[in-house]
């Protein structure tokens, strides 16, 4: 089996507030697995390539470990091509459903946020 | 080279922290292998990619054995073996010289010190493993109490609190040590959960069967072996 590394990641968007990334990393990681099983560095590279900055292994792996314990992902060690094996993560049906639910919620939330920010309407306290 | 040394230290610390959390050997092996995989892919150092080993071990929240399980499995047998060994060491010299085993209250207090120190191990084991000076102080206290117990041995039967026939104590303590070692060996031989296995090969990366047998003999039979050496020494010096 030949394993090719993803493209070198872009540095665009590396300075997002850490709170934003903490809130979204979970379903971004699930989304990264929606195309098929993947491994740690490939997930990190995909997120970086899409402008979310460099996610550290110390952040990603605990998240994936929790998802595995919750039954959202499964893991499998696959033999490498002349090198050490890789741990592949794959979405379960439950993980896919959770990803779809979170993605839909996020889209609704961002639509609301965008509407609020672009309308320029502010709720003012009415004094009589 | 410098990075390799730093990473090795980080991985040693990670394994230690996971051990302290009572994580199973196969889960530790999986964690180590996946961390190595990422470092190999990214070219980063371990601390840079994962942060401090202690924090990373905590963040993983891996399933752990019940907190008191090791006390039942390891500490109590160890404590009983130590007690039996201390009794044996007191009885052997008297038996070899065909004298009564003389005991004074001070001697009992000094002999009880390592037993109490061992019994309180659950309270300070993490500190003892993480800080070498705690471990050194513990060993020094136990060694000192052993020396003082020898000094406090009564010279004559008149000075003694108790004068006992050493043979039943010698045989009894030796039997307890051997039975406990047999029980621990049987249990640990079948318990592969303690060994760190590499998920990429399903083997223990650091030791083969020969090393496993040697480790089992040394760790599980340490007190009977020491007792045998003490008996040999006492007979030789008679």
* Assigned domain for B201 exists: no
Q: How many CB atoms lie within 10 A of CB A57?
A: 24
Same domain, B97 and B165: yes
Residue B157 CB neighbour total at 10 angstroms: 11
Contacts of B60 in chain A (CB under 8 A): 61-62, 65
Examine residue B181 and state whether it is found in any structural domain, yes or no.
yes
Residue B15, judged by CB atoms within 10 A of its CB (0-12, 13-18, 19+), counts as buried
Whole-number average pLDDT of chain B:
84
- My answer on whether B54 and B88 are in the same domain is no
pLDDT over 90 (residue A29)? yes
- H-type alpha helices, B120-199: 121-130, 132-151, 166-190
Query: Going edge to edge, which strands form the sheet with A86-91?
Result: A38-39, A86-91, A73-78
Q: How far apart are CA B179 and CA B172, in angstroms?
A: 11
Q: What is the pLDDT of residue A120?
A: 62
- Whether the CB of A71 is below 8 Å from some CB of chain B: the reply is no
A40/B34 Cβ within 8 A: yes
| pLDDT tens digits, B52-74 | 999 999 999 898 877 667 666 77
**B101 and B19 both lie in a single domain:** no
**Domain co-membership, B51 together with B14:** yes
**Whether B114 and B25 share a structural domain:** no
Number of domains present in the structure of chain B: 2
Using the Cβ of B30 and the Cβ atoms of chain A, whether some distance falls under 8 Å is answered with yes
Structural domain of B30: 2-60
- Interface confidence, given as ipTM, is 0.81
Whether B59 sits inside 8 A of A84 (CB atoms) is: no
Does B197 reside within a domain? Answer: no
DSSP type of residue A82? S
Q: Let me know if residue B71 belongs to a domain.
A: no
SS3 of chain B: helix, strand, coil, percent, to 5: 75, 5, 20
Q: How many angstroms separate the CA of residue B235 from the nearest CA in chain A? A: 56
Q: What is the DSSP string of B82-113?
A: HHHHHHHHHHHHHHHTT--EEE-HHHHHHHHH
Cβ atoms within 10 A of the Cβ of B90, count?
24
Residue B115 located in a structural domain: yes
Which H or E run includes B163? strand B162-164
Please tell me the distance in Å from A101's CA to the nearest CA on chain B.
25
Q: Is the pLDDT score of B212 beyond 90? A: no
- Residues B151, B111 share a domain: yes
Is some CB atom of chain B closer than 8 A to the CB atom of A64? no
Classify residue B127 by burial, with Cβ atoms within 10 Å: 0-12, 13-18, 19+.
exposed
Residues of A in contact with B200 (CB under 8 A): 77, 79, 84-85
Whether residues B87 and B35 share a domain: the answer is no
Q: Do B42 and A57 touch (CB under 8 A)?
A: yes
User: Shortest Cα distance from A125 to chain B (angstroms)?
Assistant: 44
- Among B11, B36, B60, the domain-final residue is B60
- For the record, the structure tokens of B82 come out as 């130590």
The answer to whether residues B54 and B83 belong to one domain is no
Give the B window 38-57 contacts with A, CB below 8 Å: 38-42, 44, 49-51, 55-56
Instruction: Provide the pLDDT confidence category of residue A1 given band limits of 50, 70 and 90.
Output: very low
Query: B87 and B138 share a domain?
Result: yes
Residue B66 forms part of a structural domain: no
Residues B50 and B80 in one domain: no
Ordered domains of chain A (ranges, CATH): 18-117 (1.10.10.10)
Range from A7-21, A99-113, B76-90 that averages highest in pLDDT: A99-113
> Which pLDDT belongs to residue A128?
46
The answer to whether B128 and B138 are in contact (CB under 8 A) is yes
Q: Mutation target for A interface from B17, B23, B34: give the one with most A CBs within 10 A.
A: B34
Is residue B166 one of the residues assigned to a domain?
A: yes
- Of the three residues B35, B60, B85, the one that is the final residue of a domain is B60
Tens digit of each residue's pLDDT (9 = 90 or more) over B2-31: 777 889 999 999 999 998 888 888 899 999
Residue listed under structure tokens 């047999």: B182
The answer to whether residue B27 is domain-embedded is yes
Same domain, B20 and B118: no
Query: Do residues B113 and B146 both lie within one domain?
Result: yes
> From the list B33, B41, B51, which residue is nearest A58 (CB)?
B51
Cβ-defined contact of A40 to B60 (cutoff 8 Å): no
């Amino acid at each position: 089996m030949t394993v090719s590394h993803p493209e070198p990641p872009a540095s665009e968007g590396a300075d997002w507030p850490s709170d934003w990334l903490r809130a979204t990393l979970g379903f971004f990681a699930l989304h990264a697995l929606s195309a098929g099983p993947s491994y740690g560095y490939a997930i990190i590279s995909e997120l970086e390539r899409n402008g979310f900055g460099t996610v550290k292994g110390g952040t990603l792996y605990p998240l994936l470990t929790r998802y595995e314990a919750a039954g959202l992902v499964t893991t499998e060690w696959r033999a490498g091509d002349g090198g050490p094996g890789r741990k592949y993560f794959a979405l379960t049906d439950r993980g896919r459903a959770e990803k779809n639910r979170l993605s839909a919620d996020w889209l609704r939330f961002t639509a609301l946020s965008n509407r609020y920010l672009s309308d320029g309407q502010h709720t003012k306290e009415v004094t009589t | 080279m410098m990075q390799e040394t730093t990473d090795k230290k980080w991985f040693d610390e990670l394994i230690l922290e996971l051990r302290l959390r009572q994580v199973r050997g196969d889960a530790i092996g999986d964690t180590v292998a996946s961390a190595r995989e990422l470092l190999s892919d990214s070219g980063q150092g371990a601390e840079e990619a994962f942060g401090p080993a202690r924090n990373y071990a905590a963040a993983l929240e891996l399933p752990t054995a019940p907190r008191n399980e090791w006390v039942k499995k390891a500490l109590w047998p160890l404590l009983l073996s130590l007690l039996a060994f201390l009794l044996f060491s007191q009885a052997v010299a008297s038996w070899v010289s065909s004298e009564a085993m003389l005991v004074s209250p001070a001697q009992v207090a000094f002999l009880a010190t390592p037993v109490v120190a061992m019994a309180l191990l659950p309270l300070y084991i993490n500190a003892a493993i993480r800080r070498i000076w705690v471990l050194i102080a513990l060993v020094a206290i136990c060694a000192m109490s052993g020396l003082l117990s020898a000094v406090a041995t009564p010279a004559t039967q008149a000075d003694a609190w108790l004068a006992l026939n050493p043979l039943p104590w010698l045989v009894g303590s030796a039997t307890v040590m051997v039975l406990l070692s047999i029980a621990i060996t049987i249990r640990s031989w079948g318990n592969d959960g303690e060994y760190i296995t590499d998920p990429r090969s399903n083997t223990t990366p650091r030791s083969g069967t020969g090393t496993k047998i040697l480790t089992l003999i040394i760790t599980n039979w340490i007190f009977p072996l020491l007792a045998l050496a003490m008996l040999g020494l006492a007979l030789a010096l008679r």
